[in-house]
Structure 1
Amino acid sequence: MSQYQMIVFDWDGTLMDSTSHIVFCMREAIHKLQLSPLTDNAIFQIIGLGLPEAVRTLYPHSTDADIQRLAMAYREIWLDHPHESPMFDNAVELLHKLANQNIFLGVATGKGRRGLDKVLAATGLADLFTATRCADECHSKPHPQMLEELISFCGVEADATMMIGDTEFDLLMAHNAKAKSVAVTHGAHALERLQACEPLHIVDDLFALDDWLHGNNVRF
């Protein structure tokens, strides 16, 4: 049984069922700029990265100006098409349960600060998290900066920190920060891609995560 001092969650695709809206906004931005169309699956694969890194991955030969234009178009589409994505089943209940444990909670997300603050306010969950980090104030995942800053801010050990996410970027960030990781399969990346990162555990949903965290596997 391992003892943990902090659990850090990814947001989109892990706690909030928002990946389809992200794909919609990116697809509309691509269409607006008359770029070569991409499949929804291709866009799914970049969810979790910071916006500039996501654009560069989708269009590897883009100039910095091209990247900025598509990133700006995406943000405009996102603002013009407000969409209240639901939290995944048991997300809110699990977060409240964990907040009552002797443990820090954090968020490390590919969202920008404006976007994260907006959804935290809308869901009423902001007070549950000790600290949060976003891709527009740190290096994008899988660089460990977001997680390392949360670890330092909370004064905990890396090997007593658990990162929970739905993409290989989350799991590789945890590895790079020398933290543990758990994968959930209801988000952006396929099971095989998550397995290749060798997380501590893989769950299909947040009910299974709740059972695993509060079983005989984890001590707070």
Structure 2
Amino acid sequence: MPYRLLVFDWDGTLADSEQRIVAAARSAIETLDLPDRSHEQVRAIIGLAMSEACQMLFPGIPKSQESRFVACYREYYLRNTGTPVPLFAGAEATLRGLAAQRYQLAVATGKGRRGLDRDIASHGLQALFSTTRCADDAPSKPHPQMLEDIMEELDAAREQTLMIGDTAYDMEMARNAGVATVAVSCGMHDSQRLLEFDPLTLLASIAELPAWLSARAR
């Protein structure tokens, strides 16, 4: 059965947002006088909902401090309104081309709703996505609910659905939902870690996806 629903992660898959996320998280850490965490430590949690990310960065942190961290992070992330978060090279053209081929496109991300909607709107991509799910809508990855909700809303079978992502959290979420995956190595987790989840393929970037889909359909 050919794929008709393509579900994309956002950060690290479509959006080259690592620097902005890490900067916002480290600013929140400094503001709240929490123990310092390195760029690499923060980078490793990108893809999770920020509440789960906070628990990974600071195991056992009280819920009250976790809530303050999430709010502070979001304030810093949303403060930079002048320059849109950049997309990876070829990402916009890829999305527009796939939509023109009548694929249904969706997003499943650990971002908050305000940040996701702002990022999508800043590139004028709202009309391309049939639906989106984020950390405000469902449990954090790797819980499968985001994918399950998207498939239910769009009436897509698991066999018709493909998850495209750059982290082990994306791969594990898809596995938990019974959905096939394509991994991209341009984002947060290295190729070796992604290959542990047996994706159908590992691409260098999202721009390679249309050619792979075309070859698979022959």
Cα separation, 1, equivalents of 2:95 and 2:162: 14
Tell me the amino acid that sits aligned with residue 185 of structure 1.
S
Answer yes or no: is the 8 Å Cα contact 1:160–1:180 preserved in 2: no
* Correspondence for 1:108: 108
Q: Any stretches of 5+ residues in structure 2 without a counterpart?
A: none
* Correspondence for 2:209: 209
Q: Any stretches of 5+ residues in structure 1 without a counterpart?
A: none
Pairs within 5 Å for 1:19-58: 19-58=18-57
Determine helix, strand or coil for the equivalent of 1:3.
coil
Give yes or no for the alignment of 1:129 onto 2:134. no
Tell me the amino acid that sits aligned with residue 135 of structure 1.
A
Determine helix, strand or coil for the equivalent of 2:93.
helix
Determine helix, strand or coil for the equivalent of 2:209.
helix
Tell me the amino acid that sits aligned with residue 205 of structure 2.
D
* Correspondence for 2:87: 87
Determine helix, strand or coil for the equivalent of 1:174.
helix
* Correspondence for 2:141: 141
TM-score (norm 1): 0.95
* Correspondence for 1:120: 120
Cα separation, 1, equivalents of 2:190 and 2:158: 27
Tell me the amino acid that sits aligned with residue 217 of structure 1.
R
Cα separation, 2, equivalents of 1:194 and 1:94: 22
Decide whether aligned partners of structure 1 residues 218 and 64 sit closer, same or farther in structure 2, where only a CA change above 3 A counts.
Answer: farther
Decide whether aligned partners of structure 1 residues 218 and 171 sit closer, same or farther in structure 2, where only a CA change above 3 A counts.
Answer: farther
CA deviation after TM superposition for structure 1 residue 198, in Å: 1.3
Cα separation, 1, equivalents of 2:121 and 2:84: 12
Tell me the amino acid that sits aligned with residue 43 of structure 2.
F
Answer yes or no: is the 8 Å Cα contact 2:166–2:183 preserved in 1: yes
Tell me the amino acid that sits aligned with residue 51 of structure 2.
P
Q: Which runs of 4+ in 1 moved over 3 A?
A: none
CA deviation after TM superposition for structure 1 residue 207, in Å: 2.7
CA deviation after TM superposition for structure 1 residue 209, in Å: 2.2
Answer yes or no: is the 8 Å Cα contact 2:98–2:210 preserved in 1: no
Tell me the amino acid that sits aligned with residue 118 of structure 1.
R
* Correspondence for 2:10: 11
Cα separation, 2, equivalents of 1:197 and 1:41: 22
Tell me the amino acid that sits aligned with residue 204 of structure 2.
D
Tell me the amino acid that sits aligned with residue 148 of structure 1.
E
* Correspondence for 2:151: 151
Cα separation, 2, equivalents of 1:218 and 1:178: 21
**What are the superposed Cα offsets for residues 96-117 of structure 1, whole Å, 9 maximum, x if unpaired?**
1110123211000111111111
Answer yes or no: is the 8 Å Cα contact 2:78–2:115 preserved in 1: no
CA deviation after TM superposition for structure 1 residue 168, in Å: 0.6
Answer yes or no: is the 8 Å Cα contact 1:4–1:218 preserved in 2: no
Tell me the amino acid that sits aligned with residue 100 of structure 1.
A
Tell me the amino acid that sits aligned with residue 35 of structure 1.
L
Cα separation, 2, equivalents of 1:154 and 1:6: 8
Cα separation, 1, equivalents of 2:37 and 2:150: 35
**What are the superposed Cα offsets for residues 154-185 of structure 1, whole Å, 9 maximum, x if unpaired?**
11111210000111111111111101101111
Determine helix, strand or coil for the equivalent of 1:37.
coil
Pairs within 5 Å for 1:186-197: 186-197=186-197
CA deviation after TM superposition for structure 1 residue 205, in Å: 1.2
Cα separation, 2, equivalents of 1:124 and 1:164: 21
Identity level (%) = 43
Cα separation, 1, equivalents of 2:95 and 2:184: 15
